[in-house]
Amino acid sequence: MNRFCWVLLLFIFGCKSTPDQFVYSSGALKQDNAEFLQQVQAQQFNKTELAQVAEYAFKNGRCDKALLLAEKFQLPVNLRSAYQTLFQCLMQKQQFAMAERALSLGADPAFVSSAEAEQDTALVLAARFGQISLLKALIRRGETPGKAAFYAGVSGDIHRDPGLSLQLLELFKPYVSRAMLRYRSGDAPVLYQLLSNQFPEAAVIPVVRELLQLGVLPDDGQQRNAVHPIGATFAYKDTPLLLVAESSQIAALLLKAGADPAARAKRQRAERLAALRAGMNTKQGLITDIRATGVQVQDNNGSRWLDWRHIDI
């Protein structure tokens, strides 16, 4: 029997399902929203039963259907399970327009806590996906942007839009603190991550300029090692300056803000040391042997060992 006949029989014979039967047996949750509401209305549920249908829909993972019922029949929107709320469910499913509607109906923006050390909040998710209207709604509800939300929005790592990064930066400006500017995710600070995304230079310059004016450190990057097969490691700092062309406008902004102009040369030296092999020539002679502590070179005066620090390349 198809679902149309099922609905028709309900009208003809007055066969009314219980809320759980309607949700779990009728297939109503698989229908589009218009048909779903028609089937709900055909059942002639009372207010209590409608609330139960909404709760069953929510617990079945269909938070969109639960919100539709809440909107249509003025039902509570703060449904909650052991691991999420209705609003949280909408946010985690990236149904942001519906989440904003839930807020307007009085949904609590707080998420049910999880075991994660740094659980995403509504602000973090909205910032990560560039949902400015939703962010403004959350701020109006008293939510205060923190360092994770600032990083998620301004870095542009997920929404991939430097224009949105700039808008989010402007939105977050009243809340900016030193902790927000120094925050690292996956050991990458915000400016470094922004430039790692390789956005077009013209698009990202306004964001870089604003971040530097706010006090982001121009050399805040990541520690790296160039590793020689013999086991020697050569540390250098991968800074924002190394992510852009030497002649770029962004490089000029970084240098003006105090970036180390020798950063590129330091990386090049580390990489060249890691690439040295026996048989190669250095300015100090032919390499005849390599050990973890240094290299042996030979010139017209004979052989000698050089510490890695003293190799001239």
Say whether 245 sits in a helix, a strand or coil: coil
Map residue 287 onto helix, strand or coil.
strand
Which candidate, 213, 203, 153, 146, places its Cα nearest to that of 180? 146
Q: From residue 116, how far is each of 53, 86, 112, 120, 253 by CA, in Å? A: 31, 20, 11, 9, 38
Q: In what order do the strands lie in the sheet with 302-307?
A: 281-282, 285-291, 294-299, 302-307
Q: What band does 114 get if pLDDT is binned at 50, 70 and 90?
A: confident
Residue 11, pLDDT score: 45
pLDDT bracket for residue 118 (50, 70, 90): confident
Q: Per-residue pLDDT averaged across 272-276, rounded?
A: 97
Query: Does the reported pTM lie above 0.75?
Result: yes
Distance CA 287, CA 280 (A): 6
Residue 293 neighbours by CB distance under 10 Å: 11
Task: For residue 80, give the DSSP letter.
Answer: B
Say which residue the tokens 């998620």 belong to: 152
- 230 CB-contact burial (10 Å; exposed 0-12 / middle 13-18 / buried 19+): middle
Please report, rounded to a whole number, the percentage of residues in the chain having pLDDT higher than 90: 88
Give me 105's structure tokens: 């109906």
- Model confidence pLDDT, tens digit, residues 142-186: 999 999 999 999 999 999 999 999 999 999 999 999 999 999 998
66-108 pLDDT per residue, tens: 999 999 999 999 999 999 999 999 999 999 999 999 999 999 9
Model confidence band, residue 16 (pLDDT cutoffs 50, 70, 90)? confident
The mean pLDDT value for 16-45 works out to: 90
pLDDT at residue 15 in the model:
62
